[in-house]
Amino acid sequence: MIMPKRFATPFRVPLCQTTQRAGGSTHRGAHMATHRGGAFAVAVANKCDRTDPWTLLCRNAPARGHGRSFLSLLLRWFSWQFAVVLLLLIGLSPAMADQLQNDIAAVQAVGPQGAGHREAVDALRRLSRVSADSLPQLLEAMDTASPLADNWLRGAIETAADRALRNGDRLPVEKLEAFVIDTRHDPGARHLAFELVRRVDPSVESRLIPRMLNDPGVEFRRAAVARLIAEGQRLLDAEKTSAARDVFLKALSGAVHKDQVDLLATRLEKLGQPVDIARHLGFIVRWHLCGPFDNTGKRGYDVAYPPEQGIDLAASYEGKSGPVRWIEHTTTDAYGMVDLNKALGKDLGVVGYATTVFVASEPATVEFRLGTPNAYKLWLNGKLIGQREVYHAGQAIDQYVDQGRLRRGENRIVLKICQNEQTESWAQMWEFQLRVCDAAGTAVLSADRPAPGSRTSHRTPVESPQTNARRR
């Protein structure tokens, strides 16, 4: 495109940009851009000091007698201004996208002890001001973020969404909903997207949650189970017991939270449907146990007793008070609790070992979730995958979560449980419960586990008040 000679003089126009000072104050800076075409570029400046375009136009107006009307010149001026401003906007878009990516990278790089903190703070301020259309991109960044960076990104997303809604802007609901149903994304990011959609479209809950009974996101799954529990209760209140049982069983298939599992097991037991909670949650109930070994002064935690050097179920070892051998043990506790005081003899300052073989049909990365008031070490196929030297600081299901990779076929699990020498009544428990599951808490069962209803499959026993108090 050839420009009119009258407008061919180069000049410089300031493009305003707001920058941040330390402490949160702002100042106006100017990037100078050289363009050909005259006064049109002043339109791209935002709240800047500008030369009056009318003055510039008149300054460049043709002299009388040159055969060009003032109206013709005015139309030409506006057409050039529009064309070049459009080009400027197209050129700025990649730069804005690059800035967004750089800011996301800065936040993702934030680390402990202040690593990358200064850069991340500046980036976070900019991310908190992005348009609503950029929210899906920020949510995607949570897929690969560390827990610390995840928290920062969450704050930026919530702030940006709040600002957009206050300004009357529309959230990209369609893209956010597509993000929610894509299970490849981080469950926490998906739930945040769900909450954003629900703020402007409450119907999303009734549309999506019923389809999420087996979702990898535990919050979605819990909500789906809760809806089915309410539906089953309505049927039960209407004395439609058969239909209620079917709904409760469907709810149980997706339940991974203890309170929901307990409630459903109770409802189903009353309807004549026994529930094997240990199997449902993936607790290991069959073990070989050995001990006690010495842990006087808590020194036994770091001693590699023979079971750590290799498993020989026929071997005899020197224990704390004499020879010890491996014994078979199957717990009948609904939540897989193994009481070592009962199995190996009550004592203080002792170490006990438990081992089992887990048969995997396919290689898989799984979680080993342990509950114990004692110090422990956990090995999978000879590799140490978890350890905590903590005594009597509380106990709960899924208290400790360690990840391991199962190979196809047999996998050897070895667990070391250490009891200290405290004499307080609340420090006498020497016990553990271990389950194998996926990241959402769905049970992963050994291929050789007995089928439901067999003699070694356990129903839900009525727990004593002492047991319930201990688990709390």
Supply the DSSP string of 339-374, one letter for each residue.
EHHHHH---SSEEEEEEEEEEESS-EEEEEEEE-SS
- 296 and 429 belong to one structural domain: yes
- 379 and 298 belong to one structural domain: yes
Give the C-alpha separation, 411 to 349, whole Å.
Answer: 30
- 306 and 453 belong to one structural domain: yes
CATH code (residue 381): 2.60.120.380
Domain end marker among 193, 211, 229? 211
Spatial CB neighbours of 140, under 8 Å, sequence gap ≥ 6? 179, 185, 189
The pLDDT, as a whole number, for residue 81 is: 56
Give the C-alpha separation, 302 to 139, whole Å.
Answer: 44
CA 32-37-38 angle, 5° bins: 70
Q: Quick check: is 16 in a domain?
A: yes
Q: Quick check: is 111 in a domain?
A: no
Q: Which letter, b or e, does each residue of 218-251 get, where b requires 16 or more Cβ atoms within 10 Å of its Cβ?
A: bebbbbbbebbbebbeebbeeeeeeebbebbbbb
- 19 and 136 belong to one structural domain: no
Q: Check whether 346 has a pLDDT greater than 80.
A: yes
Q: At 69, is the pLDDT very low, low, confident or very high (cuts 50, 70, 90)?
A: low
pTM of the entire structure? 0.74
User: What is the average per-residue pLDDT within 299-311?
Assistant: 97
Q: Quick check: is 15 in a domain?
A: yes
Residue 321 or residue 20, greater confidence? 321
The pLDDT, as a whole number, for residue 67 is: 45
Give the C-alpha separation, 271 to 233, whole Å.
Answer: 12
User: What is the average per-residue pLDDT within 54-76?
Assistant: 48
Q: Quick check: is 119 in a domain?
A: no
The letter for the amino acid at 320 is: K
- 465 and 317 belong to one structural domain: yes
- CA dihedral sign, ordered 381, 386, 391, 397: negative
Segments forming the whole domain that contains residue 426: 281-471
DSSP-assigned letter for residue 113:
G
Count of beta carbons in the 10 Å neighbourhood of residue 270: 12
The separation between CA 298 and the C-alpha centre of its own chain, rounded to angstroms, equals 36
Q: At 111, is the pLDDT very low, low, confident or very high (cuts 50, 70, 90)?
A: confident
- 447 and 401 belong to one structural domain: yes
Q: Quick check: is 108 in a domain?
A: no
Residue 10 or residue 296, greater confidence? 296
- 323 and 259 belong to one structural domain: no
Q: At 71, is the pLDDT very low, low, confident or very high (cuts 50, 70, 90)?
A: low
Q: Give yes or no for a contact between 357 and 413, defined as CB atoms under 8 angstroms apart.
A: yes
C-alpha pair distances (Å), 52 with each of 43, 55, 72, 376: 11, 5, 20, 77
The pLDDT, as a whole number, for residue 451 is: 80
User: What is the average per-residue pLDDT within 338-367?
Assistant: 98
Where on the phi/psi map is residue 2: left (φ > 0), alpha (ψ -120 to 50), or beta? Answer: beta
Give the C-alpha separation, 179 to 378, whole Å.
Answer: 37
Q: Quick check: is 206 in a domain?
A: yes
Nearest to 81 by CA among 4, 189, 168, 174: 4
Give the C-alpha separation, 416 to 245, whole Å.
Answer: 41
**Residues of the chain above pLDDT 90, percent:** 72
**Residues of the chain above pLDDT 70, percent:** 75
Q: Quick check: is 312 in a domain?
A: yes
The pLDDT, as a whole number, for residue 435 is: 98
The token duo for 180 is: 């929610």
Give the C-alpha separation, 371 to 281, whole Å.
Answer: 13
SS (H, E, C) 30-83: EEEEEECCCHHHHHHCCCCCCCCHHHHHHHCCCCCCCCCCHHHHHHHHHHHHHH
Q: Check whether 79 has a pLDDT greater than 90.
A: no
For 419, the 3-state DSSP assignment is strand
* Residues 82-100 pLDDT 10s: 544 444 444 445 666 788 9
* Residues 196-209 pLDDT 10s: 999 999 999 999 99
Which helix (H) or strand (E) is 222 found in, with range? helix 218-237
- Count structural domains, the chain: 4
Q: Check whether 293 has a pLDDT greater than 90.
A: yes
The pLDDT, as a whole number, for residue 110 is: 84
Give the C-alpha separation, 284 to 336, whole Å.
Answer: 6
- 294 and 166 belong to one structural domain: no
Residue 7 or residue 436, greater confidence? 436
Q: At 116, is the pLDDT very low, low, confident or very high (cuts 50, 70, 90)?
A: confident
The pLDDT, as a whole number, for residue 96 is: 63
Where on the phi/psi map is residue 179: left (φ > 0), alpha (ψ -120 to 50), or beta? Answer: alpha
Q: Check whether 63 has a pLDDT greater than 70.
A: no
User: What is the average per-residue pLDDT within 348-375?
Assistant: 98
- 399 and 308 belong to one structural domain: yes
* Residues 218-234 pLDDT 10s: 999 999 999 999 999 99
Q: Quick check: is 122 in a domain?
A: no
Window from 9-13, 185-189, 245-249 with minimum mean pLDDT: 9-13
Q: At 119, is the pLDDT very low, low, confident or very high (cuts 50, 70, 90)?
A: confident
- 257 and 313 belong to one structural domain: no
The pLDDT, as a whole number, for residue 88 is: 43
